Structure 1
Amino acid sequence: MTAAVPEVLLLDGVLDAEQAAGTVRSILAEQRPDGAIPWFTGHHLDPWDHTEAAMALDTAGEHAAAEAAYRWLAAHQNPDGSWYAAYVDGEVTDRAKETNFCAYVAVGVWHHHLSTGDDTFLEWIWPVVRRALDFIVGLRLPGGPIAWRLDEDGTATDEALLTGSSSILHALRCGLAIAAYLEEPQPDWELAAGRLGHAVAHHPERFLDKDRYSMDWYYPVLGTALRGKAALARIERDWDRFVVPGLGVRCVSDRPWVTGGESAELALALWAIGESDRAVDILRWIQKHLRHDDGSYWTGYVFEDDAIWPEERTTWTAGALLLAVAALGGDPATVAVFSGDDLPEGLVVQDCC
């Protein structure tokens, strides 16, 4: 990295200029020559976390590196519009297909375009986004949710995950923003987004019960399904169950384990509903026990044992942290993507179905 980090990545008590630069370098150091961004060197890549890390690079002005990450996705997309769940050095290591992994490219591509204004690249990668979201929309379940996985034999489950579907809603809305910009209407996506948003906001019974996971708590907010009083009420409902003051956010409610990714994502969700002070507090807490000297971040911390676990520093943890800081710092692209204010809603569902 040759340029100084943008001011949007500087946040008192979280990142100064040197620290922000170190975190950006920690992601760049893991990116492979072909653009792939694995969790860490020698580990696998999944398309969702790869995209999150690419988005973080765009917040830092590392647009060429981010573009290389999206070109990697384009080169590895399956003919049906999907990606496999895991790759190591370009080779498939898990042949299942997880739908939220496949949808997230739309969020990243729209963020990249808002960061760069590069119409040529957007037009080039549009078919990749279109195939991915067409694949997702083809896996709708009754009542609006999206099947969460296709097994290795190609069989789709008839079950949906609240976290995954919330992320897919965000992707569909970003995809609709791209479609509107390129004047390529996608009515099927509009219908899918409207019904999915309604299901996430009003019908938890349509999803598998993963209530012990903090992501199921905050993702309907992060994924833009909930805003205003409904979002705040959801956050308040389980705050004490998941948030450990001074440490961060539990991954699961019944384990003494706080994780950097969940903490940073909750901070981003809090910012999106006007709770910036609490967002900053959480980001400050995780600096104490999850930040490594080189600017990377440990995945998690078991506080009853005062132990880092697992002993790995992941690009997606650093990416989530940078995106939360960028939103708090007013980065226009990150604000636009995660506030949801200007994203198309799709066909709004008014009835109970």
Structure 2
Amino acid sequence: MTGGRVTGGTGPVAVPDVLVLPGVLDPGQAAATVRSILAEQRADGGIPWFTGGHLDPWDHTEAAMALDVAGEHAAAEAAYRWLMRHQNPDGSWYSAYTDGVPTDRNRESNFCAYIAVGVWHHHLATGDDTFLEQVWPTVSRAVEFVLDLQRADGTVAWRRDEDGGVPDEALLTGCASVHHALRCALAIAECLEEPQPDWELAAGRLGHAVAGHPEAFLDKDRYSMDWYYPVLGTALRGAAAEERIRRDWDRFVVPGLGVRCVSDRPWVTGGESAELALALWAVGESDRAVEILRSIQHLRHEDGGYWTGYVFEDDAVWPEERTTWTAGALLLAVAALGGDEATTTVFGGALLPTGLADECCAAEAR
């Protein structure tokens, strides 16, 4: 396998200092969490949610990024090569696979775009120009599939159905993630000297919609991801990001337990909590980011993995699954706080291309 063998899930893992954070992960705990992801990775490179569970392209990529942070570059590359082999002719991936077989043939825009985030992170972590050139056609086709779903208002429809239809609907969380992916795709294009002016315009229009036009999206306000994703996806920074975080903090954050998935349910989830921590780091709120990460250690299992969520009114873990993407999101948040260069570059956003606003967006901004 190009890039070396995939590390086994039970062998020793030497973790870098960036994955050590007092009160969250000591070296042994960090190594165990990395092993929990490696233990789930299949021989073909795929990373399902858990043993026997399905794989989706977004969470698969999130876990791969965490492996790169841990120095498990061969395993991460194997995950990206899985995507290269399973890409559909139109540039998409299906929404779910079990044992490599599609089990949900819808194609979601943010799932398909996220490879650009992972590939750019992998290149920054490894400096592997050869692999970047090899994966470029895959990234390019994925971006073109996604931009074929961009609507007149700059938003991106959230999926193409199995029958080829496209719901005339956009999701704020998904579009914020796509915006981030387009910026990373542009960084890859710049590195390879492959100018993409259409992508620049698309990224600018989408970022404008995410930052300033909530009416363009389906109302999912009760979901915490719609709260913090415009920040995590780099569309909001500065005072606007700080105000957004402040506005709904008390609605979603449960002190000492983590972040609610939805505002009206007594359910905190590790993935949302870790992602909020990453967004907090990105806007200079590192102390609160650490506080959030410490608050979800009750989700940690002795094997190093993390339960997906906890229903605090019932004092019950739910669902009873430890997901690779929950562990991956936590490792990425810790890595950002630890100053890992690839992670801070990708999620900080300051060094990513911004895209170009069209004339209508520019006039509105004035």
2:289 corresponding residue in structure 1: 279
1:205 corresponding residue in structure 2: 215
For the 8 Å contact 1:137–1:188, the answer to whether it is kept is: no
* TM-score between the two structures when normalised by the length of structure 1: 0.99
Q: How does 1:78-97 map to 2 (within 5 A)?
A: 78-97=88-107
1:222 to 209, 215, 232: 232
Q: How does 1:171-186 map to 2 (within 5 A)?
A: 171-186=181-196
1:108 corresponding residue in structure 2: 118
SS in 1 for 2:264: coil
One-letter code of the match for 1:301? Answer: Y
2:329 corresponding residue in structure 1: 320
2:86 corresponding residue in structure 1: 76
Question: 1:351, CA displacement in angstroms?
Answer: 2.6
- Correspondence 1:339 to 2:348: yes
Q: How does 1:1-353 map to 2 (within 5 A)?
A: 1-287=11-297, 289-348=298-357, 349-352=361-364
SS in 1 for 2:153: coil
Deviations 1:78-106 (A, max 9, x none): 00000000000110000000100000000
Tell me how far apart the structure 2 counterparts of residues 85 and 3 of structure 1 sit (CA, whole Å). Answer: 31
Structure 1 unaligned regions, length at least 5: none
Aligned residues: 352
Question: 1:154, CA displacement in angstroms?
Answer: 1.0
The alignment-based identity, stated in percent, is: 79
Deviations 1:19-53 (A, max 9, x none): 00000000000000000000001010000000000
SS in 1 for 2:362: coil
Tell me how far apart the structure 2 counterparts of residues 76 and 337 of structure 1 sit (CA, whole Å). Answer: 25
Question: 1:3, CA displacement in angstroms?
Answer: 4.3
Question: 1:216, CA displacement in angstroms?
Answer: 0.1
Question: 1:350, CA displacement in angstroms?
Answer: 1.6
SS in 2 for 1:350: helix
SS in 2 for 1:351: helix
Deviations 1:129-174 (A, max 9, x none): 0000011111111210000011110101111000000000000000
Tell me how far apart the structure 2 counterparts of residues 332 and 76 of structure 1 sit (CA, whole Å). Answer: 30
Question: 1:236, CA displacement in angstroms?
Answer: 0.3
SS in 2 for 1:87: strand
Tell me how far apart the structure 2 counterparts of residues 134 and 172 of structure 1 sit (CA, whole Å). Answer: 10
One-letter code of the match for 1:304? Answer: E
SS in 2 for 1:237: helix
Question: 1:67, CA displacement in angstroms?
Answer: 0.1
Tell me how far apart the structure 2 counterparts of residues 352 and 204 of structure 1 sit (CA, whole Å). Answer: 15
TM superposition outliers: structure 1 runs of 4+ over 3 Å: none
Question: 1:2, CA displacement in angstroms?
Answer: 3.9
Deviations 1:104-147 (A, max 9, x none): 00000000000000000000000000000011111111210000
Tell me how far apart the structure 1 counterparts of residues 308 and 239 of structure 2 sit (CA, whole Å). Answer: 32
Tell me how far apart the structure 2 counterparts of residues 158 and 225 of structure 1 sit (CA, whole Å). Answer: 22
Deviations 1:224-261 (A, max 9, x none): 00000000000000000000000000000000000000
Question: 1:352, CA displacement in angstroms?
Answer: 2.9
One-letter code of the match for 2:87? Answer: Q
